[in-house]
Amino acid sequence: MSYVPSGKAAGSRRTSLRGQPAGGARPVVSLPRALSKLGFCSRTQAAALIEAGRVSVDGRTARTVSLRVDPARSRIAVDGTLVAAGTKVYLMLNKPRGIVTTRRDPGQRETVYDRLPPDLPFLSPVGRLDKASEGLLLLTNDTGWAEHLLNPASAVPKTYHVKIDRIADEAFIEALGEPVEDCGERLSAAAVRLLRTGSRSSWIEVVLTEGRNRQVRRMVAAHGAHVLRLVRVAIGTLMLGDLGKSQTRPLTDAERAGIWPAIPRPRGKQD
């Protein structure tokens, strides 16, 4: 977490606790989201802090999570200490099977945060991998970057290597490449190809540009097969490569910037 000493910040603006900044300026985001965007904590944790009376905006205690503020201009403090945006962190993790993609699990299961280096600022996962899935997971405190990656309009390809419990012949591969309906949702893959086969199983590659819950598993099941292993090996131009299980590394500037050509940028915004 990054803090700055208490005191008036240059260019600060008073914000009404009714949710409207002074002077009629339009509010930007909710207070919990502002704390998340600043990299201080999750929205859920922020809501708890607000409800406990520990958060103030421009010197006045915030009374509601619905308060809307401008994170860049409002003076937001927790326990009397101003919250400032920290250094942006972009991290790649090779998630192993058996751990969940959440900060705290009610069932006390191990989470991806148990595998991160100490002394990191608050990071959020960019998308998720379920407990049984493994491979490339991105974490960052740059909410704008994450939101663009997750935006369905971005259509950033995600590549999975999938082991299934049957021999995948040409007919199976062709069928898996066609859209299917499941629980009222239309599921489709951008590309499917055979990687290799064994005596009783096959490895296939599935590329998605949409993010439905357990999508690959549901598509495979719709064709009478079962997923034995599911490994995400790439997100856009980012490759998992030879990063070891449970290991992390920061993205290079080139890697982070290399995803952007695949993502429509908001009009008027620069990287």
Mean pLDDT of 52-74: 89
Cα–Cα distance, 220 to 203 (Å, whole number) = 12
Among the residue ranges 141-145, 169-173, 188-192, the one predicted with the least confidence is 141-145
Q: Look at residue 122 and tell me whether its pLDDT is greater than 90.
A: no
Mean pLDDT of 31-51: 84
Ordered DSSP codes for 27-44: P-EEHHHHHHHTTSS-HH
- Signed CA dihedral, 222, 225, 231, 233: sign only: negative
- In this prediction the pTM is 0.72
Among the residue ranges 60-69, 76-85, 257-266, the one predicted with the least confidence is 257-266
CATH 1.10.260.40 describes domain 22-82: no
Write the class of the CATH domain 158-235. Answer: alpha beta
3-state secondary structure of 147: helix
Q: Look at residue 74 and tell me whether its pLDDT is greater than 50.
A: yes
Question: pLDDT grade, residue 167 (50/70/90)?
Answer: very high
Question: pLDDT grade, residue 228 (50/70/90)?
Answer: very high
The yes-or-no answer to whether 90-154+236-262 and 158-235 have a common fold is yes
Question: pLDDT grade, residue 142 (50/70/90)?
Answer: confident
Within 10 A of 158 (CB to CB), how many other CB atoms are there? 23
Helix (H) or strand (E) holding 216: helix 215-221
The predicted-structure confidence for 3-18, as pLDDT tens digits, reads as follows: 223 333 333 333 333 3
Mean pLDDT of 169-178: 95
Q: Are 24 and 67 in contact (CB under 8 A)?
A: no
Of 152, 153, 119, 123, the C-alpha closest to 138 is: 123
Residue-level pLDDT at 183? 87
Rg, Å, the chain Cα set: 22
| Domain assignments of the chain as residue spans, ordered by start | 22-82, 90-154+236-262, 158-235
Mean pLDDT of 95-107: 87
Query: What percent of the chain is predicted at pLDDT more than 90?
Result: 49
CATH number of 90-154+236-262: 3.30.70.580
Q: Look at residue 37 and tell me whether its pLDDT is greater than 90.
A: no
Q: Look at residue 129 and tell me whether its pLDDT is greater than 50.
A: yes
Residue-level pLDDT at 257? 84
Q: What is the residue type of 204?
A: I
Q: Could you give the residue numbers annotated as active site?
A: 130
Residue-level pLDDT at 260? 60
Mean pLDDT of 239-265: 83
Residue-level pLDDT at 20? 41
Residue-level pLDDT at 88? 87
The predicted-structure confidence for 75-91, as pLDDT tens digits, reads as follows: 899 988 888 777 889 99
Cα–Cα distance, 18 to 6 (Å, whole number) = 24
Residue-level pLDDT at 7? 34
Give whichever of 46-55, 158-167, 260-269 has the largest mean pLDDT.
158-167
* Token reading at 261: 């050509």
Phi, psi values for residue 212, rounded to 5°: -75, 155
Q: Look at residue 25 and tell me whether its pLDDT is greater than 50.
A: no
Mean pLDDT of 188-195: 96
Mean pLDDT of 159-183: 95
- Signed CA dihedral, 236, 154, 150, 29: sign only: positive
